[in-house]
């Protein structure tokens, strides 16, 4: 199971020390081989976090990347080469908070192609808005996001897909179990060889309910991942 921590735009240099608890926990955790943990902090912390997590089995990723492979005049942007240089192994692409600022499925596709070429593993986010859900467009939206986002990508196998309904992110609301089961199965039918995660308000209180949906390959966790105790609880409860 994957446990991917998305710290969003939170954290200063001292926040990296909060990982001490997680490192300690995972060292003595009997089922550590089953849990694949990836931290995606803001760009400013990738370097220090990579150093902190050296010699652990916890990896570091970025929350976004630029679509260009090489250096260039793109003020404020960071490319995959730069991310790898400071220790990132993964990159989240297509997060709804980035899509909201105008990132199209086509641009997401370019970013995914670049990330793969550069040797970063991709965490590809898909999900419908509440408006789209109310109009019963969920499957159509997901199909388009997957089709365009993964267009011309030959080796899709290593891509981790996170289904994150936009209405669930940061709201405390999670999908009804049967709805989530069906949506994950819908994605799995299209992407038979990929790991499919769920993301959106995952926390220690609802993790048991989510774990009862037994077709999930893990979680992308925002808010709760910023508190080590909550993050550890989510992992512990998953293997109880
Ligand atoms: C996320 O940022 O991907 C996310 C799922 O956030 P939260 O867990 O806070 O809803």
pLDDT, one tens digit per residue, over 160-169 is 999 999 999 9
Residues listed for the chain: 240
Percent of the chain surpassing pLDDT 70: 100
Average pLDDT of the segment spanning 122-133: 98
Contact 94, 125 (CB under 8 A): yes
Is the pLDDT at 32 greater than 90? The verdict is: no
Cβ of residue 92 lying under 6 Å from some atom of ligand 1 = no
Average pLDDT of the segment spanning 177-197: 97
Catalytically annotated residues: 95, 164
Residue 240: band (very low, low, confident or very high) from pLDDT cuts 50, 70, 90: confident
Q: Report the separation in Å between the CA atom of 170 and the middle of ligand 1, taken as the mean of its atom positions.
A: 6
Domain ranges of the chain: 2-238
Cβ of residue 87 lying under 6 Å from some atom of ligand 1 = no
Model confidence over 36-88: pLDDT tens digits?
Answer: 999 999 999 999 999 999 999 999 999 999 999 999 999 999 999 999 999 99
Cβ of residue 204 lying under 6 Å from some atom of ligand 1 = no
Q: Report the separation in Å between the CA atom of 171 and the middle of ligand 1, taken as the mean of its atom positions.
A: 9
Query: What's the CATH code, domain 2-238?
Result: 3.20.20.70
């Amino acid at each position: 199971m994957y446990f991917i921590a998305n710290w969003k735009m939170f954290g200063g240099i001292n926040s990296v020390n909060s990982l001490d608890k997680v490192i300690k926990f995972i060292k003595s955790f009997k089922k550590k081989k089953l849990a694949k943990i990836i931290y995606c902090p803001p760009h400013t912390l990738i370097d220090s976090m990579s150093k902190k997590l050296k010699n652990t089995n916890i990896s570091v990723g970025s929350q976004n990347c630029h679509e260009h492979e090489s250096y260039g005049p793109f003020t404020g942007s960071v490319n995959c080469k730069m991310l790898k240089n400071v220790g990132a192994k993964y990159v989240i692409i297509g997060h709804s908070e980035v899509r909201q600022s105008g990132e199209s499925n086509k641009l997401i596709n370019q970013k995914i192609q670049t990330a793969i070429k550069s040797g970063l593993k991709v965490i590809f986010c898909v999900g419908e808005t509440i408006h789209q859900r109310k109009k019963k467009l969920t499957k159509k939206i997901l199909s388009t996001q997957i089709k365009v986002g993964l267009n011309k990508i030959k080796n899709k196998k290593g891509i981790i897909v996170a289904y994150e309904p936009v209405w669930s992110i940061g709201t405390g609301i999670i999908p009804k179990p049967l709805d989530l089961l069906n949506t994950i199965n819908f994605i799995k039918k299209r992407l038979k060889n990929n790991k499919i995660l769920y993301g959106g308000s995952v926390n220690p209180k609802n993790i048991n309910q989510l774990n009862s949906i037994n077709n999930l390959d893990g979680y992308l966790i925002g808010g709760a991942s910023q508190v080590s105790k909550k993050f550890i609880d989510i992992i512990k409860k998953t293997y109880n």
